[in-house]
Amino acid sequence: MKIVVAIKQVPARDSLLKVDKSGTWIEDADLSWEINEPDAYALEAGLQLRESAGGEVVVLCAGPDRATQTIREALAKGADRAIHIEMSHGASDPLALARTMAKALETEKPDVVLTGLQSDDLGYGQTGVVLAEVMGYPHATLVMSVETVSGGIRVKRELEDGWFQHVEMPLPALLTIQSGAAKLRYATLMGIKKAKSKEIRRVEAETASAAPSVRLERIYLPQKTKRSQIFEGTPQETARQLVEKLRFEARVI
Amino acid sequence: MTGVLAVLEQFEGKLHGMSYEALAAAQQIGAELGQPVYAAVAGAGLQQVAAAVAAYRLDKVHVVEHGLLADYTADAYTAALKQLIELHRPAYVIFPHTYQVRDFAPALAASLGRVLVSDVIAHRVENGALTLVRQLFQGKMNADVRFEGDGPHFASVQAGAFRSENAIKAESGGSATEVVTPVLEASRIRTKPLERFRESQRAVDLTAAERIVSVGRGIREVGNIALIEQLAEAMGAELAASRPICDNGWLPMERQVGSSGQTVAPKLYVAVGISGAIQHLVGMKGSKTIVAINKDPEAPIFEAADYGIVGDLFQVVPALIEALKK
Ligand SMILES: Cc1cc2nc3c(=O)[nH]c(=O)nc-3n(C[C@H](O)[C@H](O)[C@H](O)COP(=O)(O)OP(=O)(O)OC[C@H]3O[C@@H](n4cnc5c(N)ncnc54)[C@H](O)[C@@H]3O)c2cc1C
């Protein structure tokens, strides 16, 4: 089974973000970067699927040079090889990106494509679904687990309000993976060593052919609209003030 | 190409709560753009739902009926709604940002060469042009987004961004409905949905709690949860958590608050080391008094909080436990 896992590099979770001069992106020169969290679960699901069904795991990543680090980490965890679509930061729209990704996968003909369900930076939550549409694959989103059955796969989807649903579909198929469904593995020393010699195929992103249908005008820190009372001082002082407010103003303790 | 079409979600003959919010959004945007407002609902056996939708002020309600729409599949919904949109050519199509919409709306937009603007929190109309606001970086930044070129333009609205009580009812007799039967073939539906099920019986009913202390990933390690337990005890509160804590198995699933956990509205909700992602906020923002303790002054949780302490929880929480004893 050929399994492609699409991963993205995003700013580390605790980054302090500032808008850059263009006003449409963040100052990203001094940030540290990590794999998008749901994508880490997609990679885990891909590696587990390979363990049960055999085949290979190919990592697909669109991003600038620095994304090589995230690709190497995925290879160190056990992916067999990688495709790196070289492009500047990931602010392109999901349709343009999906077309580029589909192009890069043309010769691969994967049986299963896995993505995270959304990215922690742009948060479109669409790239996987749009990629399925572009590639003509059936898809399922918010997937918690995958098993092979005769004629294809059976997945467990998360629904709202604590409900779940099993869905069956033929292969090839695309799945977007929800965080938290499995325990993530760590890279072993051996894995890290091996990763150095694994293949990374680099492809250039095409310049978009179709005119985009949406445009990001500007980004900005959200204005504070609610007037919350923020306490300052030593932990003891702030704690005392808060307890007083909760007792005598809000009267909730 | 004209009009704003709200695509509503229903399940077993009942409208999804967020459908009313999408309806309110379409009515507001339609009024501001001076365009007619329509609604569509897809499924099988929709008489009751159609009547419920027609109670709202709409220029037309499209009832998309087909046996193959009885159980939701992305393939059937995408095909049916694509036909409706190509037939009526609305300028804007608005969805509630539900799990189901996440599953098919991006594909529907892409099948028409468009990009869905997902999870919209606000809008404004200037000189007849619509600007949408959505969140980036898990709510730490906002972005203004505009549509380019010809419609149909697609957007989904975040839970709570538009208020369902602002949806305007029809004056009398209700709005006109029209049943449409899409052309669907069973052989084109590639996925097979099976039974829906629930996993665990809930032993803890957080909804009954008067006070809740909730812990997030800022706690770093399972061993530190005891500290938050002590705080909960000192406040006479139930212990709850954000999703990553339950995913890690540090607390049982039944203590999770949020869109995939429980929805709570206690007198007091204390969020410790929780960033305030929308999926968490929807589960607790109805609480009467909200307290946030977080080291990041820009954390979105402070926007929901009545009282906040910016600081290291490992210093603040012990001090708080002390102060509560006095
Ligand atoms: C479909 C879907 C459904 C979801 N359902 C849910 C749900 O039901 N419930 C839910 O909670 N989430 C849910 N999520 C996940 C949600 O998007 C967030 O990822 C999650 O809520 C983040 O949890 P957190 O705030 O604990 O962690 P983080 O976002 O990592 O935040 C940790 C916070 O701790 C602070 N912090 C760190 N160290 C300290 C310290 N020493 N002192 C003080 N503060 C500190 C940081 O500043 C940060 O703000 C869902 C996501 C999706 C896509």
At A92 the pLDDT is: 76
Q: Which residues neighbour B142 within 8 Å (Cβ) at sequence distance 6 or greater?
A: A219, A220, A221, A222, B121, B133, B134, B135, B136
Cβ neighbors of B206 (< 8 A, separation 6 or more) are B212, B238, B240, B254, B255, B257, B262, B264
Selected from 3.40.50.620, 3.30.565.10, 3.30.465.10, 2.40.30.10, the CATH number assigned to the domain covering A2-210 reads 3.40.50.620
Nearest atom of ligand 1 to the alpha carbon of B259: 8
In angstroms, what CA-CA distances link A146 with A77, A81, A159, A163, B101?
19, 22, 16, 17, 22
For tokens 């990704």, the residue is A101
Q: Is B255 in the pocket of ligand 1 (CB under 6 A)?
A: no
Of A4-13, A87-96, A186-195, the range with the lowest mean pLDDT is: A87-96
Query: For residue A206, what pLDDT is reported?
Result: 74
pLDDT of residue A72: 98
Tell me which DSSP letter residue B268 carries.
Answer: E
Nearest CA to ligand 1 atom 49: B275
Instruction: Determine which of B137, B146, B217, B294 to mutate to test the interface with A (most A C-beta atoms within 10 Å).
Output: B137
Average pLDDT over residues A21-28: 93
Give DSSP secondary structure letters for B52-113.
Answer: HHHTB--SEEEEEE-GGGSS--HHHHHHHHHHHHHHH--SEEEEE--HHHHHHHHHHHHHTT
pTM, to two decimals: 0.96
Taking the CA of residue B312 as reference, the ligand 1 atom at the shortest distance is: 42
Task: Give the pLDDT confidence of A210-249 residue by residue, as tens digits.
Answer: 778 899 999 999 988 777 899 989 999 999 999 999 999 9
Q: What is the CA radius of gyration of chain A?
A: 21
Nearest CB neighbour to B260, from listed A130, A162, A240? A162
* Residue-wise pLDDT tens digits, A47-73: 999 999 999 999 999 999 999 999 999
Q: Which band of pLDDT confidence, cut at 50, 70 and 90, is reported for residue B305?
A: very high
Chain A positions in Cβ-Cβ contact with residue B304 (cut-off 8 Å): 226
Place of tokens 């929480």: B317
Amino acid at site B290: I
What confidence tier does B326 reach under pLDDT thresholds 50, 70, 90? confident
- Read off the pLDDT band of A106 (50, 70, 90): very high
Count interface pairs A-B at CB distance under 8 A.
256
Instruction: Tell me how long chain A is.
Output: 253
Domain residue ranges of chain A, discontinuous segments joined by +: 2-210
Residue B216 neighbours by CB distance under 10 Å: 24
For residue B63, the distance in angstroms to the closest alpha carbon of chain A comes to: 24
Q: Which domains does chain B have, with CATH numbers?
A: 4-194 (3.40.50.620), 202-325 (3.40.50.1220)
pLDDT band for B60, please (50, 70, 90 cuts). very high
Q: Does the interface predicted TM-score (ipTM) exceed 0.90?
A: yes
Q: Chain A contacts of B220, Cβ < 8 Å?
A: none
Looking at residue B208, what is its pLDDT? 94
Do the Cβ atoms of A132 and B107 come within 8 Å? yes
- For B78-137, the pLDDT digits (tens) are 999 999 999 999 999 999 999 999 999 999 999 999 999 999 999 999 999 999 999 999
B227-284 pLDDT, tens per residue?
999 999 999 999 999 999 999 999 999 999 999 999 999 999 999 999 999 999 999 9
Q: How confident is the model at residue B204 (pLDDT cuts 50, 70, 90)?
A: confident
CA dihedral B13, B17, B19, B24 (to 10 degrees): 140
Amino acid letter, residue B276 = G
With a CB cutoff of 8 Å and minimum separation 6, the contacts of B298 are: A16, A17, A221, B140
The token pair at B271 is 């969020």
Q: Which amino acid makes up residue B81?
A: L
How far apart CA A115 and CA A128 sit, in angstroms, is: 6
Q: Which of A231-235, B47-51, B203-207 has the lowest mean pLDDT?
A: B203-207
Kind of pairing between the strands at B92-96 and A2-7: unpaired
- Enumerate the H helices of A115-234 as residue ranges: 127-135, 189-195
Distant-in-sequence, close-in-space partners of A30: CB < 8 Å, separation ≥ 6: none
Residue B70: closest CA among B46, B106, B91, B39: B46
Q: Please, are residues B212 and B283 in contact by the beta-carbon 8 Å criterion?
A: no
| Any atom of ligand 1 within 6 Å of the Cβ of B242 | yes
Read off the pLDDT band of A90 (50, 70, 90).
low
What is the pLDDT averaged over residues A73-92?
A: 90
- pLDDT-based confidence at residue A209 (cuts at 50, 70, 90): low
